[in-house]
A and B are shown apart, each in its own frame.
Chain A
Amino acid sequence: MYLYDDFDRTLVAERVAEFRDQVRRRLSGELSEDEFKLLRLMNGVYLQLHAYMLRIAIPYGTLSSRQLRTLAHVARRYDRNYGHFTTRQNIQFNWIKLEELPDAMADLARAGLHGMQTSGNCVRNITTDQWAAVAPDEIEDPRIWAEILRQHLTLHPEFSFLPRKFKIAVTAAAHDRAAVRVHDIGLRLHRNGAGEVGFEVVVGGGLGRTPFVGKTIKPFLPKRDLLSYVEAILRVYNQFGRRDNIYKARIKILVHDLGAEAFAKEVEAEWQPIRDGALALDPAVIAEVAARFRYPDYAELDDSPPELAQARATDRRFANWLGNSVANHKVAGYAIVTLSLKPEGGPPGDATAEQMDAIADLADRYSFGEIRVGHEQNLALPHVEQRELPALWRALDRIGVATPNVGLVSDIISCPGLDYCSLANTRSIPVAQELTRRFRDLDLARELGRLHINISGCINACGHHHVGHIGLLGVEKNGEEYFQVTIGGRADENAELGTLIGPAVPYAEVADVVEDIVAAYLELRDRPNEIFLDTVKRVGVEPFKERVYAAR
């Protein structure tokens, strides 16, 4: 849990004051919409189909209970009583009025929350693994580096008007839960042969119109050099990224056009003059940032306390939830609890103000006041005593965030789609809702095992469909909604883009198509625990294609 100090608070307050002035100038006509648009985007204010949308950054997905209560307050006071958690660990409010935005931002600022750089052609929220600092397979806390980068790149005078948006992700675990290989810059903390910890730097990954898996341009970068090297990458991109065509303006296009080697050379040329300058990170600076991360005062507990074993034996619903939504913690006696925001029939990733308040209370009681937001649009309580799990589960169940479908077929990742978003070709939420109904049987869901469905309502891919095990991409044909279907994508350390299985299918049939794909998987898998992704890898796309298109 990072503690803001006077510097951080002052900066956010000054930003709110600046935005208040910009809104005033807009409402009085001193600023035209063309001038105001980029300024409001840099504060996370979009114009959508029905209203303005405010996107709030949740740096590296970590929230305090106080912050979550503030989000609930904003939902109630300025919006329609709910918020939506996104695939980049942000939260969105869909009904905000421009006139009330400065006040909403002032309320958020008091809790250290803001919308700075959640949109616009600048560096966006830096994301990481929602299990940072508690996952057993991690070598150190990646959030410290995400915070160092966040500060460096906030209101950076040189990089506030890049060719296009810029997304960075950091991981420090063997299993990449932050999808770093499909980000503009992906950073993987690891140990080299000499036992030193440093970064693998991956550049030019991304989804959208031209998806790419990123290229490693620096296999091992010492910690000291992180800021100067990232600065060099951004300086190359700022100068040479395309600005003539917004669909060709991301760094992935520049890396692809130059080739990874030539691109890396440009970065080296920019880096050499600055690597030993003011951006060199000395241990004192790193330690100062690290020191303002507070970690829980864990109790000394044993794994598998009797309360747990007993509840598991006597309550089948609890046992199902335990097996699904609770993960191992690096500290004995503790657990990481995922809160599913994917109830049957619900819009994926949404939470009401009442739920947010209730979760904040539960965080205080059971998780040292800390909540995490995952890019799969669920929440987590990262520090729960195992002996408290039965009591916590009952409370979570009461507020509707204990559906034991985490990572399963009904744990769908979806963008807001045409119900909200002015960029969309098709709706996505009703498709997700229908699929949760088709797959409501939790026994079947468990039987199917890990299966990620990702839905994007347009090519901008906010639902990350390219890296879904099953990916649905909304397209328009003759004014009607259709979906392109891909299978076999994955977002982890073996990131791969999915393969199209055939012609686009109409909206009314897409849920049937997904059912057919799932049925084909059940027939084709060679043993019960061969997950969908591995079956696709083994047998290829053809058998699925046949099954889906045979009758169509």
Chain B
Amino acid sequence: MRLVRGGRVVADRYLRVLDEAPIPDSVPVIIPAARFLADAAELARREAPTGVLWPNNRRISELVPYLDRLALVALVFPSFKDGRAYSQARQLREQHGFRGELRAAGNILRDQFLFLVRAGFDSFEVVKDADAAVFAEAVRRYSVFYQPAGDRRTPALRARLQHARPGVADAHERV
């Protein structure tokens, strides 16, 4: 597994803490959701960054009260075909203003990178090394986007109004 952040493979500074293991003090940690919620008050006193691994079948609204003390939220793709975490990501970013690290964990392929970026993820646990290596290229695959999403790219509907009729040269071409 490779962590991709800022468009390239980087070392993961976060420690993934499993359910019963002790939580070290001065190390960034990612904690499973149930444990995080149970110990939330205590964890709030930590000085090192705290992250939570949030399952894709729990509402984000349960996590919202704690967002201000979270440096990282990791959302889960049990299979790349299970797209629930895209909705969770957008809610976190766009409705609740979460500005910490939003990590995609689980099973994702290079074919999802651009969707993930647009949904607001900024770090990616990538299973295949070959996919991690081509991250930068994969997110440049498309230059046109129809819809607004979490990434602030101007969607086509708006861009057309801003430009002077980009299709004008071909207006007579019947397609």
Residues of chain A whose beta carbon lies under 8 Å from any beta carbon of chain B: 1, 3-8, 10-11, 14-15, 17-18, 22, 30, 35, 38-39, 64-67, 111-112, 121, 148, 151-162, 235, 238-239, 243, 273-274, 278-279, 284-285, 288-289, 292, 294, 369
Q: Check if A157 sits within 8 Å of B115, measured CB to CB.
A: yes
Residues of A close to B157: CB separation below 8 A: 148, 151-152, 285, 288-289
Cβ-defined partner of B119 (8 Å) among A10, A157, A279, A288: A157
Let me know if B26 is at the binding interface, CB within 8 A.
Answer: no
**Complex: chain A residue closest to B95, CB-CB:** A273
B174 in complex: contacting residue of A1, A10, A274, CB < 8 Å: A1
Instruction: Chain A residues near B159: list those with CB within 8 A.
Output: 7
A156 to chain B, nearest CB (A): 6
A5 touches B147 (CB 8 A): no
Q: Which of A14, A278, A284 contacts B148 (CB 8 A)?
A: A278
B174 touches A3 (CB 8 A): yes
How many Å lie between the Cα of A284 and that of B118 in the bound state? Answer: 25
Q: Which one, A3, A17, A243, contacts B141 given CB within 8 A? A: A17
Please state if B156 and A111 are interface contacts (CB–CB under 8 Å).
Answer: no
Per-residue contact bits, chain B 69-97, to A (CB 8 Å; 1 contact, 0 not): 00000000000111110111010001100
Chain A proximity mask over B127-148: 1 for CB below 8 Å, otherwise 0? 0001000000000011111111
Q: Check B160 for interface membership: any CB of A closer than 8 A.
A: yes
Min CB–CB distance A165 → chain B (angstroms): 13
- Does B166 belong to the interface (CB within 8 Å)? yes
Contact B174 A64 (CB under 8 A): yes
Q: For the complex, is B41 an interface residue (Cβ under 8 Å from A)?
A: no
Question: Which residues on B sit within 8 Å (CB–CB) of A273?
Answer: 95
Alpha-carbon distance between A14 and B80 when the two chains are bound, in angstroms: 22
Instruction: Tell me the smallest distance from the CB of A17 to a CB of chain B, in Å.
Output: 7
Contacts of A5 in B (CB 8 A): 160, 166-167, 170
A22 to B155, CA, bound (A): 25
Q: How far is the CB of A468 from chain B (nearest CB, A)?
A: 33
Among B84, B86, B146, contact of A152 (Cβ-Cβ < 8 Å)? B146
Pull 13 A–B residue pairs with CB atoms less than 8 Å apart, ordered by A.
A4-B170, A5-B166, A6-B170, A8-B156, A10-B143, A14-B142, A14-B143, A17-B141, A38-B80, A121-B83, A157-B114, A238-B87, A239-B88
Q: Hey, which chain B residues are within 8 Å of A162, CB to CB? A: 83
Q: In the complex, what distance in Å separates the CA atom of A159 from the CA atom of B156?
A: 18
In Å, the complex CA distance between A5 and B160 comes to 9
**A161 touching B170 in the complex, CB below 8 Å, given contacts A14-B141, A238-B87:** no
| Contact among A18, A112, A152, A238 for B83, CB-based, below 8 A | A238
- Interface: B21 (CB within 8 A): no
Complex: how many Å from CA A273 to CA B96? 10
Kindly list 16 other residue pairs between chains A and B, CB separation below 8 angstroms, not including A8-B156, A157-B114: A3-B175, A7-B167, A11-B144, A35-B109, A38-B80, A38-B81, A121-B83, A155-B146, A156-B147, A158-B149, A159-B86, A160-B83, A160-B86, A235-B87, A239-B88, A278-B148
Known: A66-B175, A157-B86, A161-B83. Is A7-B161 also a contact (CB below 8 A)?
Answer: no
**A10 contacts across to B, CB distance below 8 A:** 143-144
